[in-house]
């Protein structure tokens, strides 16, 4: 750490952030920022320290500075509002000589040496102040100028005055000062520096913000003052102890100042940084304990610790080693020095370890909890200064807003961790991509000063970092070693979480429930969609629901679960559907007698084998061949439920895909996309429509790779996966014949015949009835004749069966509506629902 303002290459600095706080020195003095700066400049050897604010104008904190400034009493005379200083002005028009107007003094007269120095010259005009400050900066005497409330100064000035100030400050930042001069100026801002407002002063803006569009000021000339650090909190506590306002021992203060410093930055940082005045006010009511060891806290969550502790310890050890190598020896601390007003010496970002992390996993697996722990561990191990967590969304739906919001978030996260959940949502629009670009830049510019942790679903985070549309800087900032995958909880862990959450609400389980719940949780867990399951979040919802059912009763019983969807079956309170009930949707389907017989025969065979004690049963893989619209998808759903009912598949859900879902558009996508879809379908059915397209062309390497990946999973995952491939009969036969390995993995081939005209009529009448429409006898006869006319198309690949019927029904409904609408005033609702022969196409 080095002292502020010791960079010999800069002459104009800015301080912003928590500038209105009180500061506590090792001498236990309480100072405001200006007073601290006055003392700091004195220790640096500055002889003349001049303060300026829009309200008090020119003033001093010590007589020597006032005397050395050579300002006499005459300077207290108010100048006319129109007075302007004489001399040359550097501005857009070049070097222009300004002539004073009549009655205006070009400068205050020389002081009377017998008159004591004035400490306050509040009546001086802004022009006079600027002239005097410029003169003082050009003199060789070591001078420091403090411009307080800089945002007020520049907000209230007119354009001419703003141009004058920008010219002077710009000159001070350049080569106009004498070569050996140490003179400098410091602008103090309350809160953040408004880069947009600062653009009124283009030279100053360029000096503080550089030439880029970043909303963050440059770190070598603009210093953000954050919350007090443990050293300063310790100074305050000792001050309170010595004044009798705190009954703690010195040992207790040492133990507690770190934890108290942490509280000055709220975990989510939404309320901003707390001041020392807030700490003094809240201290009597705080529950003060010694700061816990964060590694111990991590181990209190065994599931998290098991997965990440070793990796995290390795990363932290490497970060500490790199930090030690990159940090120069500390300057000896003076009696005036406090940590938050000292500057970390610039280090090559490449010399520091990468602190950024990507947390991958489903919701409810502890990603946010882990992010908070990582932030605290980084602080505990001395890697980051505050260890607070800032949770943000970064996009703004207007031009420029995203960059500003991202810069503000980075500024708030300095010393801590910026946490972005579901970070891949930033790729949804151009504003989000702006945020990613700004974030990537900040991760390099401020490497070692804060960390970014992103979190979300595994596949989406990987796509966000490594995908073809990803920002090219992301893979380097989130390398594989900085990605931690949090597995979803198993049923036993979920049950323990349930018990803990229940106990936190003062509830308990009765003996019968305690015995039944582990098995019920296993059934519940098997029935969930892994992609959507919220893990601990789902358990929280479950606890809330059963507590609500129990009311004031402290003991939870089985019956409290009865009204919750699915839990009647999980706990055995409700009877599972019989196999006949699972097959009942087949009865509602029109025609397809051979298909129904095949499915029932399969279900009966599996049920009998299961009854005989077979334990090696698997759901199998199937080909459904037939034209579109013959009910293949519906039958696949029934088969999924059959396998679930028989215990062969845990969920029995159906994932429907086509070739484009598996192959993708680029080399390498086929294997990845196919594995993603297979993972979605595990414990259920993967239904691939038009599956023959995967191998329709021998030169299609993408389709072939997807097909090879599929074949491997059909074998390796056969106990957890049923694959059904569907398509036209001829094409499916070619697919089977061309791939011997494929045919060996198939359990059955089911033909789906085209519907007859009579069956299509039944389907159409059912669709009309579902809309509350009925046909006249004449319309019925005309529709039947129309469908008989489709016989010549039956068996052709372009025959859509029930799909074509749906289109026909939609057309008839549209024709009827056009006919009936002009007559609505004359027709009853019942009459308006009649389909006539004129509505049926010829």
Are 448 and 349 contacting, i.e. CB atoms less than 8 angstroms apart? Answer: yes
Q: Would you say domain 757-839 falls under CATH 1.10.8.60? A: yes
Angle, helix 593-611 to helix 579-587, in steps of 10 degrees: 170
Q: What is the pLDDT of residue 747?
A: 83
Stretch 83-110: mean pLDDT, rounded? 40
7 pLDDT above the threshold of 90 = no
Alpha helices in 682-776 (DSSP H): 701-716, 729-738, 740-744, 757-770
What does each C-alpha distance from 417 to 22, 390, 392, 737 come to in angstroms?
Answer: 25, 6, 11, 58
**Dist CA 519 CA 531 (whole Å):** 22
Average pLDDT over residues 730-755: 83
Q: Give the pLDDT confidence score for residue 303 in this predicted structure.
A: 84
Cα separation of 706 and 697, whole Å?
A: 13
Host H or E run for residue 473: none
Q: What is the mean pLDDT of residues 184-199?
A: 88
Whole-number Å distance between alpha carbons of 462 and 325: 32
Which pLDDT belongs to residue 103?
41
Lowest mean pLDDT among 87-96, 441-450, 654-663, 727-736: 87-96
CB of 651 closer than 8 Å to CB of 526: yes
Q: Are strands 143-147 and 483-485 parallel, antiparallel or unpaired?
A: unpaired
**For residue 223, what are the β-bridge partners?**
15
- Model confidence at 98, pLDDT cuts 50, 70, 90, reads very low
At 824, list the tokens.
Answer: 């609505």
Q: Where are the alpha helices (DSSP H) in 44-175?
A: 63-68, 126-138, 150-156, 159-173
Residue 92 pLDDT level (bands cut at 50, 70, 90): very low
pLDDT score for 571: 83
Pairing of strands 342-343, 2-3: antiparallel
- Predicted pLDDT at 60: 92
Position 723 scores a pLDDT of: 92
Q: 611: which 2 tokens?
A: 């009854």
Instruction: Name the fold adopted by 579-752.
Output: Rossmann fold (3.40.50)
Helix and strand numbers (H, E) in the chain are 32, 27
Angle between helical axes of 491-504 and 511-526 (0-180°, round to 10): 130
Most confident residue range from 332-336, 497-501, 559-563: 497-501
Beta strand 451-456 pairing with 357-360: parallel
pLDDT band at 563 (very low <50, low <70, confident <90, very high): confident
CB 295 within 8 A of CB 309: yes
H/E segment holding residue 358: strand 357-360
Confidence of residue 271 (pLDDT cuts 50, 70, 90): low
Strand partners, 58: 52, 121
pLDDT attached to residue 790:
84
Are the CB atoms for 652 and 623 separated by under 8 Å?
no
Q: Can you give the pLDDT at residue 288?
A: 72
SS3 content of the chain, % helix, strand, coil (to 5): 50, 15, 40
Q: At what angle do helices 430-445 and 401-413 cross, to 10 degrees?
A: 30
Of 5, 31, 1, 7, nearest to 19 by C-alpha is 31
Model confidence at 665, pLDDT cuts 50, 70, 90, reads low
Cα 579-680-522 angle, rounded to 5 deg: 55
Neighbours of 398 (CB within 10 A): 8
The listed range with the strongest mean pLDDT (210-214, 222-226, 612-616) is 222-226
Residue 85: pLDDT over 60: no
Separation of alpha carbons 486 and 472, rounded Å:
25
Q: Which is more confident, 131 or 419?
A: 419
Q: Which CATH number fits domain 294-327+346-487: 3.40.50.300, 3.40.50.2300, 3.50.50.60, 3.20.20.150?
A: 3.40.50.300
% of the chain residues with pLDDT over 90: 27
Average pLDDT, the chain: 83
In this structure, the chain runs to a length of 842
Mean pLDDT (whole number) for 43-63: 90
User: How many Cβ atoms sit within 10 Å of the Cβ of residue 442?
Assistant: 24
Q: Write the pLDDT tens digit of every residue in 752-804.
A: 998 888 888 888 898 889 889 999 999 898 888 888 888 777 767 777 788 88
For 87, phi then psi, to 5°, come to 120, -175
Q: How far is CA 301 from CA 307, 562, 637, in A?
A: 10, 31, 40
Region 812-824: mean pLDDT is 89
Measured N-to-C along each axis, helices 593-611 and 632-645 cross at an angle, to the nearest 10 degrees, of 10
Give 390's strand partners.
Answer: 418
For the cut 60, the answer to whether the pLDDT of residue 117 exceeds it is no
What DSSP line would sit under 572-606, residue for residue?
TSSPPPPHHHHHHHHHTS-S-HHHHHHHHHHHHHH
Instruction: Return the structure tokens found at 644.
Output: 């679930």
Q: How far is CA 421 from the centre of its chain?
A: 3
129, 164 contact by CB (below 8 A): no
Domain coordinates of the chain in residue numbers? 2-225, 227-291, 294-327+346-487, 491-570, 579-752, 757-839
The answer to whether residue 75 scores a pLDDT higher than 60 is: no
Render pLDDT for 10-27 as a digit per residue (tens, 0 to 9): 899 999 989 999 999 999
Q: How large is the average pLDDT for residues 66-74? A: 66
Q: What pLDDT sits at residue 401?
A: 63
CA distance 231 to 337: 10
Query: Which of 20, 39, 19 shows the shortest CA–CA distance to 29?
Result: 39
CA angle, 832 as apex, 828 and 838 as ends, to 5°? 140
Determine the Cα–Cα distance for residues 45 and 64; give it in Å rounded to an integer.
13
294 neighbors 300 (Cβ within 8 angstroms):
no
HSE, side-chain direction, 13 A CA sphere, residue 48:
23
Alpha carbon distance 542, 564 (integer Å): 9
Greatest mean pLDDT among 245-254, 394-403, 662-671: 245-254
Which has the minimum average pLDDT: 91-100, 136-145, 359-368, 523-532?
Answer: 91-100
Count of beta carbons in the 10 Å neighbourhood of residue 751: 14
Pairing of strands 622-626, 748-752: parallel
Q: How confident is the model at residue 232, as a pLDDT? A: 93
For residue 811, the tally of other CB atoms under 10 A from its CB is: 13
What pLDDT was estimated at residue 84? 40
Interhelix angle 701-716/669-681, rounded to 10 degrees, is: 30
Residue 141: what pLDDT? 92
Check residue 475 and give its pLDDT.
93
CA distance 252 to 255: 5
Residue 328's pLDDT is 62
pLDDT over 90 (residue 88): no
pLDDT of residue 471: 92
With a cut of 60, say whether residue 490 has pLDDT above it: yes
Each residue's pLDDT tens digit, 617-640: 889 999 999 888 888 899 999 999
The more confidently predicted of residues 269 and 331 is: 331
pLDDT of residue 142: 94
Closest CA relative to residue 491, chosen from 456, 528, 444: 528
What are residue 31's DSSP bridge partners? Answer: 23
At residue 123, the 3 state secondary structure works out as: coil
The Cα–Cα gap between 262 and 556 comes to 39
For residues 613 and 429, what is the distance between their CA atoms, to the nearest angstrom?
56
Give the closest residue to 84 by CA, choosing from 64, 74, 98, 67: 98
CATH topology identical between 294-327+346-487 and 579-752: yes
- Strand intervals (E) in 415-565: 417-421, 451-456, 483-485, 508-509, 555-556
Average pLDDT over every residue of 296-307: 88
Strand-pairing partners, residue 88, are: 97
In this structure, how many other beta carbons lie within 10 angstroms of the beta carbon of residue 814? 11
Amino acid 547: pLDDT: 92
Question: Does the pLDDT of residue 327 top 90, yes or no?
Answer: no
């Amino acid at each position: 750490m080095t002292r502020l303002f010791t960079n010999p290459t800069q002459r104009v600095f800015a301080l912003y952030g928590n500038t209105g706080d009180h500061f506590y020195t090792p001498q236990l003095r309480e100072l405001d920022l200006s007073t601290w700066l006055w003392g700091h400049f004195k220790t640096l050897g500055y002889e003349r320290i001049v303060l300026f604010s829009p309200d008090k104008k020119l003033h001093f904190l010590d007589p020597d500075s006032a005397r050395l400034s050579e300002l006499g009493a005459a300077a207290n005379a108010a100048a006319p509002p129109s007075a302007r200083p004489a001399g040359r002005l550097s501005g857009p028009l070049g070097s222009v000589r300004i002539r004073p107007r009549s009655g205006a003094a070009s400068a205050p007269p020389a002081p009377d040496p017998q008159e004591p120095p004035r400490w306050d010259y509040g009546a001086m005009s802004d022009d006079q102040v600027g002239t005097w400050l410029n003169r003082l900066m050009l003199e060789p005497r070591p001078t420091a100028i403090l411009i307080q409330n800089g945002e007020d100064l520049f907000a209230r000035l007119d354009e001419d005055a703003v141009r004058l100030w920008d010219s002077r400050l710009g000159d001070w930042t350049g080569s106009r000062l004498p070569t050996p001069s140490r003179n400098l100026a410091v602008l103090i801002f309350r809160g953040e520096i408004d880069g947009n407002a600062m653009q009124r002063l283009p030279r100053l803006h360029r000096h503080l913000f550089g030439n880029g569009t970043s909303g963050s000021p440059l770190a070598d000339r603009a210093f953000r003052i954050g919350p007090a650090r443990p050293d300063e909190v310790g100074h305050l506590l000792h001050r309170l102890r010595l004044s009798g306002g705190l009954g703690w021992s010195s040992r207790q203060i040492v133990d507690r100042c770190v934890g108290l410093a942490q509280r000055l930055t709220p975990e989510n940082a939404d309320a901003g940084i707390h001041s020392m005045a807030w700490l003094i006010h809240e201290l009597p009511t705080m529950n003060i304990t010694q700061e816990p060891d964060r590694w111990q806290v991590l181990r209190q969550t065994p599931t998290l610790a098991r997965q990440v502790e070793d990796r995290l310890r390795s990363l932290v050890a490497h970060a500490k080693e790199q930090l030690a190598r990159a940090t120069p020896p500390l300057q000896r601390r003076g009696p005036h020095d406090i940590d938050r007003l000292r500057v970390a010496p610039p280090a090559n970002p490449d010399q520091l370890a990468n602190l950024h992390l990507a947390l991958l996993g489903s919701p409810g697996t502890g990603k946010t909890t882990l992010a908070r722990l990582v932030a605290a561990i980084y602080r505990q191990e001395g890697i980051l200064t505050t260890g607070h967590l800032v949770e943000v969304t970064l996009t703004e739906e207007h031009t420029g807003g995203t960059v500003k919001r991202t810069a503000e978030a980075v500024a708030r996260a300095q010393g801590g961790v910026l946490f972005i959940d579901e970070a891949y949502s930033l790729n949804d629009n151009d504003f989000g991509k702006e945020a990613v670009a700004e974030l990537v830049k900040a991760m390099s510019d401020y490497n070692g000063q804060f960390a970014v942790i992103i979190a979300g679903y595994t596949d989406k985070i990987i796509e966000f970092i490594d995908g073809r549309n990803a920002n090219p800087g992301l893979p380097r900032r989130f390398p594989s070693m900085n990605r931690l995958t949090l597995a979803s909880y198993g049923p036993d862990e979920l049950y323990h979480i349930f018990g803990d959450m229940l106990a936190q609400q003062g509830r308990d389980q009765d003996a019968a429930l305690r015995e039944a719940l582990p098995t019920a949780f296993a059934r519940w867990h098997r029935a969930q969609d892994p992609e959507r399951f919220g893990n601990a979040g789902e358990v929280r919802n479950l606890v809330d629901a059963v507590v609500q059912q129990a009311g004031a009763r402290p003991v939870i019983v089985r019956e409290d679960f009865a009204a919750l969807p699915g839990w009647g079956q999980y706990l055995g309170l409700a009877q599972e559907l019989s196999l006949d009930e699972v097959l009942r949707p087949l009865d509602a389907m029109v025609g397809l007698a051979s298909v129904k017989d095949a499915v029932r025969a399969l279900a009966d065979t599996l049920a009998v084998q299961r009854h005989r004690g077979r334990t090696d049963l698997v759901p199998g893989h199937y080909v459904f061949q037939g034209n579109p619209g013959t009910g293949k998808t519906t039958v696949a759903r029934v088969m999924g439920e059959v396998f679930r009912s028989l215990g062969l598949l845990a969920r029995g859900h159906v994932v429907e895909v086509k070739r484009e879902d598996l192959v993708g558009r680029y080399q390498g996508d086929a294997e990845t996309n196919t594995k993603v879809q297979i993972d979605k379908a595990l414990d259920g059915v993967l239904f691939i429509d038009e599956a023959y397209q995967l191998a329709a062309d021998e030169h299609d390497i993408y389709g072939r790779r997807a097909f090879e990946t599929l074949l491997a999973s059909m074998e390796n995952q056969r106990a957890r996966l049923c694959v059904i491939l569907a398509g036209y009969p001829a094409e499916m036969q070619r697919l089977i014949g061309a791939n011997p390995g494929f045919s060996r993995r198939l359990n059955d081939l089911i033909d789906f015949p085209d519907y007859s005209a009579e069956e299509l009529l039944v389907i159409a009448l059912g669709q009309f009835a579902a809309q509350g429409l009925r046909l006249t006898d004449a319309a019925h006869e005309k529709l039947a004749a129309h469908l008989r006319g489709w016989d010549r198309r039956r068996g052709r690949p372009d025959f859509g069966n029930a799909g074509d019927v749906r289109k026909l029904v939609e057309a008839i409904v549209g024709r009827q509506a056009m006919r009936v609408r002009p007559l609505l005033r004359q027709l009853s609702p019942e009459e308006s629902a009649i389909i006539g022969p004129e509505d049926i196409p010829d």
